[in-house]
Amino acid sequence: AGPWASRPLRWVKGRVVTTYCPANNEPIASVRQASLEDYEETVKKAKEAWKVWADIPAPKRGEIVRQIGDALRQKIKALGSLVSLEMGKIFVEGVGEVQEYVDVCDYAVGLSRMIGGPILPSESKYVYVLVGSRPGHALIEQWNPVGLVGIITAFNFPVAVYGWNSAVAMICGNACLWKGAPTTSLISVAVTKIIAKVLEDNRVPGAVCSLVCGGADVGTAMARDERMDLLSFTGSTKVGKQVALMVQERFGRSLLELGGNNAIIVFEDADLNLVIPSALFAAVGTAGQRCTTARRLFLHESIHDEVVAKLSKAYAQVRIGDPWDSDTLYGPLHTKEAVKMFLDAVEQAKQQGGSVVYGGKVISRPGNYVEPTIVTGLPHNAPIVHTETFAPILYVLKFKEEEEVFAWNNEVKQGLSSSIFTKDLGRIFRWLGPKGSDCGIVNVNIPTSGAEIGGAFGGEKHTGGGRESGSDSWKLYMRRSTCTINYSKNLPLAQGIKFQ
């Protein structure tokens, strides 16, 4: 890598942002944010670093990504604690989030030896000679890295979402420029320092994985910057729409992971021993701040009252406390603003005919703690039911027939994750079919959260249509060329066209 080997990671200096601990609202640290001038310099260095990275064979890139995964493994508890401290999710979830990054690194290592395009049959093999053909030609697909991938991530998964993008983007041959949420800047810095050391130990420029701490001004600059060959954005549907328009205006490529208004449907034949813990974890995990959080619970009318009673009893057993305490199951919301959003949503639910059967209040203790909440009695099309509130509020709704509840699942604007609980094999396949769920993640007898890295993660409609992590999502980080090679001494044209 030549002169890059002795070029250390450089941390730019701009305005200062204070990050706070959600468990007590005490300041943790002051983190310098990048200015637009800093951003400009960082993009230039990242583009230069890409020239080095793109020349490294894919299996060697995979080996470096494997080392990044190992470096994260060695710091997994420390990073998990930092996630609890700065984001607010409980310790086991913080560690689990770092583990996701480690796992996707392992996945990407194998992928680095598999990516590539097919050799396609040329017309010479299928078109009758008298009609016309192209003997002596080969038709192949070539996949190349797009170049520089901009990655904008949200506060709720400050490690894993970057990992999903960066590990796969890197083995594809791309450089990455990351802008994390300003409220989780310490996590972004810590992760980047770990990655930078691995890169530089391999005599690769640290700028291959660049970081720009910043706010909306930096995000807007990334969306409008033609040097961003792909922009991956994770966040709200409202902001994602603005990002999509800015990227599309310059005919750029975007990968959008936006909101979710996810539903669990429980039929009369469901195993309630699976339903209760699934609904509980899906609704209150990460204090309701997952994009895959269950926000709607549809219960068949014959089991509605029984499930509500059992679920309320389970909610009462949830251990609430400091997120870094290993006994805690439920921690705080991320910010004071999130607490206000929670209270507003509860009030709207009441005004629209709902009854709070559990929770609904702020917990009297330091920090951003609210009670996990269950609301019943609302119609399926109530405005608040169709609103994604990033808080632990579960709307419980009755249904009678399969056809109507499938339609209710699909009637919201988002289309991320969905689940049914049933033993009916025919119903399961109808749920998976064209008239079933319209979501990107469609589950049976498991909750809406907890996606595996081997499957493509993402959703439809206002969720943005993007896919990250597994399956063939690697193709989004590459550009495809259809290549025809003439190895003959003649020039036959396609479709048998001849010029006499």
Q: Which helix (H) or strand (E) holds 106?
A: helix 91-111
Distance from the Cα of residue 496 to its chain's centroid: 48
Structure-token pair, residue 260: 């979710």
Under 8 Å between Cβ of 460 and 439: yes
Residue 272, helix vs strand vs coil:
helix
Give the position of tokens 């894919």. 58
Longest dimension (CA), the chain: 89
- Where are the alpha helices (H) located in 319-424, listed in sequence order? 336-351, 402-410
Q: What are phi and psi of 210, to 5 degrees?
A: -85, 155
Structure-token pair, residue 472: 């063939």
3-state percent breakdown (helix, strand, coil) of the chain, nearest 5: 40, 20, 40
Nearest residue to 208 via CA among 197, 196, 218, 219: 196
- Where are the alpha helices (H) located in 139-264, listed in sequence order? 160-171, 185-201, 216-224, 237-249
**371: Cβ contacts below 8 Å, ≥ 6 apart:** 358, 359, 360, 361, 362, 363
Gap between the Cα atoms of 342 and 378, Å rounded: 17
Nearest residue to 33 via CA among 134, 148, 184, 145: 184
* Annotated catalytic residue within 257, 371, 388, 402: 257
DSSP for 31-91 reads: EEPPPHHHHHHHHHHHHHHHHHHHTS-HHHHHHHHHHHHHHHHHTHHHHHHHHHHHT---H
Of the CA atoms within 13 Å of residue 93, those in its CB half-sphere come to 28
Residue 471, helix vs strand vs coil:
coil
User: Is 257 noted as a catalytic residue in this protein?
Assistant: yes
Q: Which amino acid is at 106?
A: D
Residues annotated as catalytic are 257
